[in-house]
Amino acid sequence: MVYSLLTILEKHNKNYQSFSEELIFKFSLVLLVLDGSTGWGLDIFMRITCALMLAFSHYSNNKILWLIISLLLLFFNSLQFYILDNHKILFVYWVLLITSYLWTDKDLKYLRSNAKILIGLVMFFAVFQKIINGFGSPGFLHGRFLFDSRFMLVTHFIIDTPYEVLANNRNSISILNLLPINNSFVKLSSTTFMGYILYSFQLFGLVFEGLVASLFLFSKNNSIAKDIALLIFCIGTYFIFPVIGFSSILLILGIAQSSIKMRKFYIITFVIIQFIKVPWQEIIFYFQNSL
């Protein structure tokens, strides 16, 4: 039985056309191993299957295995669509593109052009969603930086608010969410200077994200400008907003669509971006207060 299954799989292995193609497939499998699915059942299957595909590399572009992976991701993630992280929805699209590429025997240009369009559309709809939800209005980020544990130390460094005050803000908001009382409120401490800084950052981020979307949707495939813009966006954004899943899939898409000249910069950035898991704010805070 096992021998028969292996024989069927062997018939559907595909030789890599180039090192670029191998790189795309293996980086995609790495992300599937680390963060490709939601739910313990599918997660275990993905980790085992994709790890084995990486270990036995002649299966890493097997048409049947990629079809199974894409169908399972599509089915199980669709059951949790409304609570699913955005980057996992994006990764489903990417896995479906890879599967389509394998089963239709497309040229590598198919993956490159679709990865470029996918980045452009994701960035465009991110900007659109922010605009219709009032991201361009003052104060959108202000409150978040006063009580969100991910940003409180940044706030502490900018306006020199005692950390204990910010911790109290966080605790008060948590209590308010758990025990809502009519007409109750929490007073958060801030400064006008803090408001100006965050609003400037807000607008700059929105414009820059729109620039990245425009470059990927309308520039030529070999344009270096779009790659530089995306690399700056990933480093500048995700070291402040530490979302490792979304930054990783964006960089894998960047690797897929980039030229050989720019690919190494995406790989270097992919490595660097993993360091957003380091609690930099806490480390700086510790050294600052230990002197």
Asked if the model's pLDDT at residue 112 lies above 80, the reply is yes
CA distance 151 to 26: 34
Question: pLDDT, tens digit, for every residue of 1-60?
Answer: 555 666 766 766 777 888 889 999 999 999 888 876 677 678 888 889 899 989 988 888
Least confident of 36-45, 87-96, 147-156: 147-156
CA-based nearest residue to 209, from 105, 136, 289: 136
Answer yes or no: is pLDDT of 178 > 90: no
pLDDT of residue 15: 78
Residue 39, CA distances (Å) to 28, 72, 88, 165, 265 in order: 19, 12, 12, 37, 33
pLDDT (0 to 100) of residue 106: 85
- Tell me the one-letter amino acid at 10: E
pLDDT reading at 120 higher than 70: yes
Can you spell out the DSSP letters for 13-49?
A: ----SSHHHHHHHHHHHHHHHHHS-SSHHHHHHHHHH
Give the mean model confidence (pLDDT) for residues 75-102: 85
- Residue-level pLDDT at 288: 65
pLDDT tier at 133 (50, 70, 90 boundaries)?
A: confident
In this prediction, residue 279 carries a pLDDT of 74
Model-level pTM?
0.85
Chain position carrying tokens 């994709």: 50
CB atoms within 10 A of CB 79: 11
The predicted structure's pLDDT at residue 189: 65
**Helix boundaries (H) for 36-162:** 40-55, 63-79, 86-104, 108-132, 142-147, 152-159
| Residue 186 backbone phi and psi in degrees, to 5 | -125, 130
Q: What is the pLDDT of residue 285?
A: 66
Segment among 99-108, 109-118, 129-138 with least mean pLDDT: 129-138
pLDDT digits (tens, 9 = 90+) for 203-236: 888 999 999 999 999 998 889 999 999 999 999 8
Inform me whether the pLDDT recorded for 240 exceeds 70: yes
